[in-house]
């Protein structure tokens, strides 16, 4: 698993989160609508915590993989069915959604900065400093 792959998954999660937040905001007055949320960081943290630094050497494709799997978990969308904010059964808290949108925008910006840095480092390693 490379840093670029991990950053790409995080960017995908952030993009999905932006879509979900926008959808929640646009449905703030829809009767019975339940807010949704993207879960990624907790899944990734659990995935990384459960991995070992040990990695087996596969000299044949039929051998079992030992150690770190190269699959990075995907983000998932979950629906909040436990709360109600309005008499209509809708549970969108517009203030909370706007806060999440701002936080997600900053997170996306930092991820793009980091991936640009990774690509720049690869470019320097390939070309050498000029």
Q: How far apart are the first and last CA of the chain?
A: 29
pLDDT tens column, 58-75: 788 787 766 665 577 889
pTM: 0.76
Helix (H/G/I), strand (E/B), else coil: 76:
strand
pLDDT tens column, 90-127: 999 999 999 999 999 999 999 999 999 999 988 888 88
Domain ranges for the chain, please list them.
3-127
In which element (H, E) is residue 18 found?
helix 3-26
**Residue pair 24/36 in contact by the 8 Å Cβ criterion:** yes
Secondary structure class of 42 (helix, strand, coil): helix
CA distance 107 to 25: 19
């Amino acid at each position: 698993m490379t840093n670029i792959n991990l950053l790409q998954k995080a960017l995908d999660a952030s993009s999905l989160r932006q879509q979900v937040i926008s959808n929640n905001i646009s449905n703030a007055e829809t009767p019975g609508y339940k807010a949704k949320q993207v879960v990624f960081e907790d899944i990734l943290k659990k995935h990384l915590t459960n991995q070992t630094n040990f990695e087996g050497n596969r000299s044949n494709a039929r051998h079992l993989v030992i150690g770190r799997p190269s699959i990075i978990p995907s983000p998932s969308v979950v629906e909040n069915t436990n709360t109600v904010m309005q008499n209509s059964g809708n549970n969108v808290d517009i203030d909370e959604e706007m806060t999440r949108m701002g936080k997600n925008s900053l997170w996306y910006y930092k991820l793009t900065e980091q991936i640009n840095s990774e690509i720049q480092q690869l470019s320097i390693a390939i070309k050498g400093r000029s």
